[in-house]
């Protein structure tokens, strides 16, 4: 598995789907580990019952069908597909409503979905997904292309304490980002990447689970966004400057960054 | 690429496994093929198959990434490129007129011999090649701290006087490997110069590719390329060399500037289009009080809240 995960960190991010399929066929006995530890950009489907789009992932899948968070139905229809309990479903509905407002505030568009399910230890797991496609609608008149996409997957394991006052939250977040521009002067410029972080917190349940989870996710997303922009993209830019230093010692690269 | 069929535990055929290994090796970022090799060898679990895949993928990868290898006698470096490939695993080093034998998988030179006369250009052609090489070398030394360049005659090397067309390819390769800092990258330029006797012009075509990979707790890759066209007058070897190098210098510098411009544009342009740093309200999201939001923003209609 270690070898498989190392490979995923080296293969170009845009080819991760092909890479994961290859790994799945090489290691069929590790498929559930691979699927849970390796994330791919999210796919979208349409909930015909409520006429809304929803996101697909391992957590709302059963066989080849996916459960929509809006109508709680599987598409394509599935008999006996697992559903969350009524109590959890209520929380899930509220989470989807609030999260879609959050999504609108930060992403000004985009699609969100939240899925919850009970786990074995009297707690539950919630997964918050966002997909934003920033493409400027394909090529414009001058043949310029600008494409971008952001996929975020946040999985939170919630374990309430025995006393019922506080709970432990373990958040694992993955952000997958891709930016492509293409035009006559600068040719083809592609920057793509994914990062994954974890955060563990013990919080009082006074304001409710949604508040706690929401704040953790917001905090994590901001950190990941800044990290991607400054550190990750910054490092690749620094590499370009190292290969070919700008003339006259003009300091274009990040100040105070670790020398390569 | 072959995919596992749905017939559950159907074992992959040897060919499918080898193809997968070749795919992973070919897609390794610059400077990382040995790490990818170690991983894929462990996953394939069959050394014979792995060796087959490696002997197919390593040469391709080395040539595509313009691998630079030190010559065994330390007289210089040789660039691994199809343009200088004389025979199987044999690569010409035009400046010192030697041919290196290369082990692609170990990525070292295993042998060295002087080039034979029929492997080298005629004196007439060599005059042009040499002049260009000298000028380019000067340029590369000022622009790239770790760059290596070479000029190959790819067409017409036996021409012994004016009246014919010939073609050179100049290669510039610079790479930086910092695995301990989780960062690798390279700059590859391939410039083709077509000397046309009839029009007395030299056509110039260039292709530059830049790649970088940063992978500390993540995987971020830069992959860029661009192509250029230009031309100049067919003159004496020395004048051509200066003119052509100026053309190369000009386009490469402009390309570097456009890369910088793309990076500068990122935060306010594309990145912001994807996700804002903060909502328009400039405050964090009020998780405890979203009802206020939905009323003021009239979201409730959109969501069809029907509790």
**Span A44-56, average pLDDT:** 92
Cβ of residue B295 closer than 8 Å to a chain A Cβ: no
Kindly identify which residue of chain A lies nearest to residue B285, measuring between CA atoms.
A102
pLDDT tier at B301 (50, 70, 90 boundaries)? very low
Is the per-residue pLDDT at B5 higher than 50? no
Lowest average pLDDT, out of A214-228, B232-246, B291-305, goes to B291-305
Kindly determine whether residue A101 and residue B299, on different chains, have CB atoms separated by under 8 Å. Answer: yes
pLDDT of residue B291: 52
Kindly determine whether residue B287 and residue A222, on different chains, have CB atoms separated by under 8 Å. Answer: no
For residue B113, the distance in angstroms to the closest alpha carbon of chain A comes to 31
pLDDT of residue B141: 93
Kindly determine whether residue A236 and residue B222, on different chains, have CB atoms separated by under 8 Å. Answer: yes
Residues 267-286 of B with CB under 8 A from A: 267, 270-271, 273-281, 284-285
Lowest average pLDDT, out of A55-59, A142-146, B41-45, B219-223, goes to A142-146
Across chain A, mean pLDDT equals 86
Share of residues in chain A with pLDDT > 70 (%): 91
pLDDT of residue B297: 47
Give chain A positions within 8 Å (CB) of B256.
Answer: 240, 244, 246
Cβ of residue B27 closer than 8 Å to a chain A Cβ: yes
Across chain B, mean pLDDT equals 87
Give chain A positions within 8 Å (CB) of B305.
Answer: 97
pLDDT of residue B3: 45
Kindly identify which residue of chain B lies nearest to residue A21, measuring between CA atoms.
B3
**A133: burial class by Cβ within 10 Å (0-12, 13-18, 19+)?**
middle
Query: In this predicted model, which residue has the larger pLDDT, A147 or B66?
Result: B66
pLDDT of residue B9: 42
Cβ of residue B222 closer than 8 Å to a chain A Cβ: yes
Give chain A positions within 8 Å (CB) of B16.
Answer: 25
With vertex at residue B211, the alpha carbon angle to CA B208 and CA B212, rounded to the nearest 5 degrees, is 150
For residue B242, the distance in angstroms to the closest alpha carbon of chain A comes to 20
For residue B248, the distance in angstroms to the closest alpha carbon of chain A comes to 14
What is the rounded CA–CA span in Å between residue B112 and residue B49?
30
Query: In this predicted model, which residue has the larger pLDDT, A213 or A182?
Result: A213
ipTM: 0.83
For residue B149, the distance in angstroms to the closest alpha carbon of chain A comes to 14
For residue A153, the distance in angstroms to the closest alpha carbon of chain B comes to 14
Question: Which residues are CB-neighbours of B38 under 8 A, at least 6 positions away?
Answer: A3
What is the rounded CA–CA span in Å between residue B10 and residue B119?
51
Is the per-residue pLDDT at A200 higher than 70? yes
pLDDT of residue B306: 35
Is the per-residue pLDDT at B300 higher than 50? no
Share of residues in chain A with pLDDT > 90 (%): 47
Kindly determine whether residue B4 and residue A25, on different chains, have CB atoms separated by under 8 Å. Answer: yes
Residues 166-185 of B with CB under 8 A from A: 174-176, 178, 181, 183-185
Cβ of residue B53 closer than 8 Å to a chain A Cβ: no
What is the rounded CA–CA span in Å between residue A142 and residue B25?
37
Lowest average pLDDT, out of A96-105, B138-147, B198-207, B295-304, goes to B295-304
pLDDT of residue A168: 94
- DSSP 8-state symbol, B271: I
Is the per-residue pLDDT at B279 higher than 70? yes
Question: Per residue in B240-263, pLDDT tens?
Answer: 999 999 999 999 999 999 898 888
For residue B252, the distance in angstroms to the closest alpha carbon of chain A comes to 10
pLDDT of residue A97: 93
Kindly identify which residue of chain A lies nearest to residue B26, measuring between CA atoms.
A11
Contact A39, A31 (CB under 8 A): no
pLDDT tier at B265 (50, 70, 90 boundaries)? confident
The torsion angle over the Cα atoms of residues B141, B146, B147 and B148, rounded to 10 degrees, is 100
What is the rounded CA–CA span in Å between residue B138 and residue A243?
16
pLDDT tier at A55 (50, 70, 90 boundaries)? very high
Question: Per residue in A96-152, pLDDT tens?
Answer: 999 999 999 999 889 999 999 998 878 999 999 999 987 765 555 555 668 889 999
Is the per-residue pLDDT at B6 higher than 90? no
pTM above 0.80, yes or no: yes
Is the per-residue pLDDT at B268 higher than 80? no
pLDDT tier at B8 (50, 70, 90 boundaries)? very low
pLDDT of residue A122: 80
Parallel, antiparallel or unpaired: strands A65-67 and A61-62: antiparallel
pLDDT of residue B290: 55
pLDDT of residue A248: 62
Give chain B positions within 8 Å (CB) of A233.
Answer: 220, 263, 266
Contact A25, A39 (CB under 8 A): no
For residue B197, the distance in angstroms to the closest alpha carbon of chain A comes to 30
Kindly determine whether residue B226 and residue A146, on different chains, have CB atoms separated by under 8 Å. Answer: no
pLDDT of residue B74: 85
Beta strands, E only, A72-186: 74-75, 111-118, 124-133, 145-160, 166-183
Q: Measure CB to CB from residue B43 to each of A11, A26, A146 and give the nearest one.
A: A26
Residue A185 CB neighbour total at 10 angstroms: 11
Is the per-residue pLDDT at A4 higher than 60? yes
Contact B69, B108 (CB under 8 A): yes
Q: Measure CB to CB from residue A187 to each of B175, B215, B227 and give the nearest one.
A: B227
């Amino acid at each position: 598995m270690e070898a498989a995960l190392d490979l995923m960190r080296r293969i170009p991010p845009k080819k991760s789907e092909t890479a994961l399929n290859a790994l799945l066929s090489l290691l069929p006995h590790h498929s559930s580990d691979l699927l849970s530890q390796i994330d791919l950009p999210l796919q979208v489907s349409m909930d015909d019952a409520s006429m809304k789009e929803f996101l697909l992932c391992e957590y709302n899948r059963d066989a080849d069908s996916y459960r929509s968070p809006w109508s709680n139905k599987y598409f394509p229809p599935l008999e006996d597909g697992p559903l969350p309990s009524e109590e959890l479903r209520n929380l899930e509905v509220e989470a989807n409503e609030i999260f879609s407002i959050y999504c609108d505030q930060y992403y000004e568009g985009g699609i969100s979905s939240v899925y919850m399910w009970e786990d074995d230890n009297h707690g539950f797991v919630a997964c918050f997904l966002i997909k934003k496609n920033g493409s400027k609608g394909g090529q414009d008149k001058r043949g310029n292309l600008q494409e971008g996409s952001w996929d975020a997957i946040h999985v939170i394991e919630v374990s309430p304490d025995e006393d019922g006052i506080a709970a432990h939250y373990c958040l694992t977040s993955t952000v997958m980002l891709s930016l492509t521009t293409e035009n006559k002067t600068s040719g083809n410029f592609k920057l793509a990447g994914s990062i994954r972080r974890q955060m563990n917190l013990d919080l009082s349940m006074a304001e409710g689970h949604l508040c706690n989870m929401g704040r953790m996710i917001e905090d994590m997303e901001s950190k990941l966004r800044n990290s991607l922009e400054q550190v990750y993209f910054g490092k690749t830019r620094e590499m370009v400057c190292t290969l070919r230093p700008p003339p006259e010692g003009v300091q274009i690269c990040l100040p105070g960054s670790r020398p390569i | 690429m072959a995919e596992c069929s749905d017939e559950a535990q159907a074992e992959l055929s040897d060919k499918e496994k080898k193809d997968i290994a070749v795919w992973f090796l070919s897609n390794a970022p610059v400077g990382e093929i040995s790490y990818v090799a170690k991983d894929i060898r462990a996953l394939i679990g069959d050394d014979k198959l792995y060796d087959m895949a490696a002997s197919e993928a390593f040469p391709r990868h080395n040539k595509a990434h313009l691998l630079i290898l030190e010559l065994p006698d330390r007289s210089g470096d040789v660039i691994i490129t199809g343009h200088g490939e004389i025979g199987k695993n044999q690569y010409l080093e035009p400046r010192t007129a030697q041919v290196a034998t290369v082990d692609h998988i170990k990525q070292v030179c295993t042998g060295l011999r002087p080039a034979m006369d029929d492997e080298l250009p005629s004196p007439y052609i060599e005059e042009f090649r040499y002049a260009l090489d000298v000028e380019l070398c000067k340029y590369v030394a000022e622009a790239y701290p770790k760059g290596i360049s070479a000029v190959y005659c790819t067409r017409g090397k036996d021409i012994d006087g004016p009246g014919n067309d010939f073609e050179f390819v100049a290669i510039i390769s610079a790479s930086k490997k910092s695995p301990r800092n989780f960062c690798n990258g390279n700059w590859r330029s391939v410039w083709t110069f077509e000397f046309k006797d009839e029009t007395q012009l030299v056509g110039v075509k260039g292709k530059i590719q830049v790649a970088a990979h940063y992978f500390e707790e993540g995987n971020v890759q830069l992959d860029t390329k661009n192509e250029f066209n230009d031309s100049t007058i067919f003159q004496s070897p020395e004048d051509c060399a200066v003119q052509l190098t100026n053309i190369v210098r000009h386009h490469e510098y402009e390309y570097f500037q456009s890369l910088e411009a793309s990076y500068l544009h990122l935060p306010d342009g594309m990145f912001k289009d994807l996700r804002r740093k903060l909502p328009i309200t400039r405050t964090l999201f009020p998780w405890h009080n979203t009802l206020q939001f939905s009323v003021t923003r009239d979201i409730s209609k959109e969501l069809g809240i029907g509790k």
